[in-house]
Amino acid sequence: MARLASVCGVISGAFMVIGLKGGGDDKERTYALAREFVDRFKAVNRSILCKDLLGYDISTVEGLQKARQDNAFKTVCTKYVEDSCRILEELLGTKMQRCGV
Kindly report the average pLDDT of the chain as a whole number: 91
State if pTM tops 0.85: yes
pLDDT above 70: residue 99 = no
Q: Are the CB atoms for 58 and 64 separated by under 8 Å?
A: yes
Percent of the chain with pLDDT over 70: 91
The end-to-end CA distance of the chain, in Å, is 19
pLDDT tens per residue across span 35-73: 999 999 999 999 999 999 999 999 999 999 999 999 999
